[in-house]
Structure 1
């Protein structure tokens, strides 16, 4: 076939220009290559003219043969295949080359397919990112590869032929290190890496996911039991005569099995994260719950999405009071789900599976509508809405947030945002830019749970905010005490030096409130001022519904009256310099 024949189809040119292919190939109805042009030598170690007449599968390693056949069948059915991750032989003594394949049915030649191959540089992991001895992928790089394989398996693949992800727990690693000595232990780790990679896709799809925990992406012809047997034999060779702890494994099919690619991928990453974090019962749960297409995780995701889409949640409001004036500064909007005593597990699950952005935006929309309703539409009533760090790290959700806020000029000065740090923020400068857009628009920002977790002080350095909410654990430590802890004093002083407002949560007694005043903490939240509640809807005077639990209206402002006995003044002990 001459190159000019391809030029007869403008659609072909446009498609390949879009693909930015390194190698263009046409394959006939028998699977043979009839035309090839481009960087064939670099990708396949063969010149383009040598590929003509060869089966298309001959360009790739034998382990990829079944996937090539499935991809060609999908093209025959009219489907466009995008970014199929494969490997071409690297030659004697050289590693296999990662490539990405795209293709579709030829628009002008019945039975023919057009393939575009590109060098998949993203699959080439720098040596410094691998484990030093076993040369396995890091958890992050392995997760990226698993996600791409899930994307591939979610479109038209035969579920019985989908690639598998087997997660392996090998507690005997520690026994080998303790019994064999450092040199033998290194030999063990090197052999372990070789054995895991030997059964993996392309010979390089194995990773270390956590302490003594590993992952392997492999063809369906490789079973979890065979992987367990290979590793058991390896341990026995290094611990002869011992009775090491057994190898445990769980296998997940990398296909979507009738669910969306996004759902399947998020469920997979959720399972990987749980496994890598070393949960004691995780493998047992995974073996039961996710072996058949992650159905339980996806089912829970769909349940939460249904709750969000149908608005089957309620907002309750807890007051934050100015300790210096006893005036209500604002209310925090808290979500409650039907049949759930606490929202914590639901919100955390939504964060871990990547759907918390939908939840945050639904709560924000509900809060906006409430602030414009007769119950919430008062200049003195301000409300804080929680935003997960992952929502702000997700560009589409962040854009949606800014768009929604841009439509609320009437709520400037009345709506605040609390950035929760239960999920780590990856790109702090990008998130800070979003926060500054909110602040410039007239919406104050608070950093929630300050002091909890290793990233708290790092957050305060990277994010410009108006307030920080001191984590309740520090407040609980001073209950019944007249002396603040050094940590609480340090946090209060740091915020004062930075001219950042402070809010203390879990304030339950007048004594604690008195102590916080001495530390110059400005605001407080807790059962002393009221539990989360919904105001009574009194049609004749909606604002009366807020006057409960010691709250009352004074000159158009909502104030707090302490109904408990007055606390005795607290004085810090004096320190003698003598």
Structure 2
């Protein structure tokens, strides 16, 4: 005896719940809901029974109707849509982030089976988009791709299509900025609508775009669509012939995190290196670059897990009293004393900065509780990458670590490094205020270099600023550098922020900085990074004595070359 149709339909829905969905819908070719089941009230505010007869557009915010329509068209062609980001419209009129998935019904080719589900803020990555195209920037593209691969259960490989539009600069000159931006926005909308989940399309520079899609979409169709968009939006402009090249992402042996990070690292590395100037060159070069990136990533993971690094320390000296205010903790890999700048930069680009930073924190906290760093008179500054402060996993671990470090309050501060520019400054500032409230001061490192600009002091409330060494090195020769230092010191004084100068190499520079009212100095004049000497466990003072340091009045102090110790241990007058 055959089972009734509604029983077969329920079987379909049960089998279809691959995404742990909240609401399962069957809709017809016109987008009308024929059947609904699931926790619709929790997701949308309506009970499931009320959804029958409504249109899918009634459940989607108007701004995402185009994206939803593109997803339905994809399903109607027999292709599966997985986790397309949409804004869901609730019964009370409010909007919340959601995911749309689905495919064509196996029983009726005119019907579609659609899933509406939650988009968890704790799991979905933060997104930063470029203003003109609306496409993800490099970091967000990597995070979104990693999130996609982590959730995907399909055995079918994804495809990366790179799109090169070399005529954009000429078009901007001939047709003007307004028309060009209109075209770029339309191209961005097309790429988003045809990417996996609507969010795996990125822009790498002014003329090069990337799209991760399934194998049903072919690059010739992408080229034709972009050429049509150019003709429609800029009819009088020069021909816009899109150059495309597709690469199957064969990363079966990699974890989702490794695959996504290696992909982004390989593509951006290719572009930054010049890459031979052609997409064909990228096709030949991409897989070796990805393999190399994954090999380096796994090696770095092993290094972090084994703790195969050691700490060296460089003094930060009060210019007015010669007391060593604290030591900056610097990482060295293996047995080498060379700076690991390339490794740290690679860790940031591959999403490993947080793991590295937190491993250093744990090592230092252990040293400060037992061993030569446990002397209560010693204070230390630990570096945190800007990327660490924008990673949900890393920030959660950091909070837990600091919650268990009440015994180190007043002895630990954090320097926020700018080798990776920070986004989401409001969220970063909220975290910094949590850190400060727990008793750990915060310093903004390399101020004046790269991404660190004056607006950071408006967005981030910190205790200290470290002036970039470029201005300090030139201070004795450049009036402009002196003016810049004066401006920083004056602004910081108004904001109640103390200043430290990097790269102080001689007594003349140190004296000039005092005249400019800089509070502290760091550099080879005060001492190179060093490892404390190995002594008996109970001796916490001798290991820190060098040719340039000495204990006086219970404080570790800098010993100038002339031996004039000055008012060692006296309170600073500035």
TM-based fold match above 0.5: yes
Contact 2:261 2:350 in 1 (8 A): yes
Query: Are 1:546 and 2:539 an aligned pair?
Result: no
Shift of 1:130: 8.8
Contact in 1 for aligned 2:23/2:115 (Cα 8 Å): yes
Q: Which residue of 2 aligns with 1:280?
A: 274
After superposition, the C-alpha distances for 1:453-477 in whole angstroms (9 at most, x for unaligned) are: 3543222222222211111111112
Q: Secondary structure at the match of 2:348?
A: helix
Show the counterpart of 2:556: 558
Give the equivalent residue in structure 2 for 1:302: 298
Hey, what does 2:394 align to over in structure 1? 397
Q: Secondary structure at the match of 1:139?
A: coil
Distance 2:398 2:196 in 1: 42
SS in 2 for 1:214: strand
CA contact (8 A) 1:100 1:120 kept: no
**1: CA distance, partners of 2:182 / 2:457:** 44
Identify which range, 408-417 or 190-199, moves more after superposition.
190-199
1:327 to 323, 331, 339: 323
Looking at structure 1, the residues matched to 442 and 179 of structure 2 have their Cα atoms a distance apart, in angstroms, of: 51
1:118 alignment partner in structure 2: 116
Partner of 2:263: 268
1:366 to 363, 366, 379: 363
Give the count of matched residue pairs. 496
Query: Structure 1 residues 262, 291: closer, same or farther in 2, change over 3 A?
Result: same
* Of 407, 430, 435, the match for 2:404: 407
Match status 1:174 vs 2:169: yes
- C-alpha distance in 2 between matches for 1:396 and 1:203: 23
Question: Closer, same or farther in 2 for the Cα pair 1:478/1:310, shift >3 Å?
Answer: same
Q: Paired residue for 2:210, among 209, 215, 224?
A: 215
Q: Quick one: structure 1 residues 121 and 372, their matched pair in 2 at CA, closer, same or farther if it must change by over 3 Å? A: closer
Structure 2: distance between partners of 1:224 and 1:102:
23
Cα RMSD, aligned residues only? 4.9
* Secondary structure of residue in 2 paired with 1:162: coil
Deviations 1:388-419 (A, max 9, x none): 12212223322211221222222221111111
Unaligned runs of 5+ in 1: 26-33, 46-58, 72-82, 88-97, 104-113, 123-128, 567-578
Query: Which deviates further from its counterpart, 166-175 or 412-421?
Result: 166-175
Q: Deviations over 1:88-141 (max 9, x none)?
A: xxxxxxxxxx972279xxxxxxxxxx965228999xxxxxx8987xxx542349
Q: Partners in 1 of 2:117 and 2:361 — Cα distance?
A: 43
Q: CA deviation at 1:373?
A: 2.7
State the partner residue of 1:381: 378
Alpha-carbon distance change, 410 to 65 in structure 1, aligned in 2, over 3 angstroms: same
2:101 alignment counterpart: 101
Distance 1:558 1:65 in 2: 73
Larger Rg: 1
Q: Does 1:61 align with 2:73?
A: yes
CA contact (8 A) 1:84 1:152 kept: no
Q: Quick check: 1:154–1:255 contact (8 Å CA) kept in 2?
A: no
Q: Which residue of 2 aligns with 1:424?
A: 421
Give SS of 1:265's match: helix
| Long gaps (5+) in structure 2 | 28-33, 38-47, 58-70, 87-97, 104-111, 121-128, 565-574
Which residue in 2 is equivalent to 1:23? 25
Identify which of 466, 470, 487 aligns with 1:469.
466
- Partner Cα distance (1:319, 1:220) in 2: 57
Q: How far 1:532 sits from its partner (Å)?
A: 0.8
Answer yes or no: is the 8 Å Cα contact 1:63–1:201 preserved in 2: no
* 2:311 corresponds to 1:315: yes
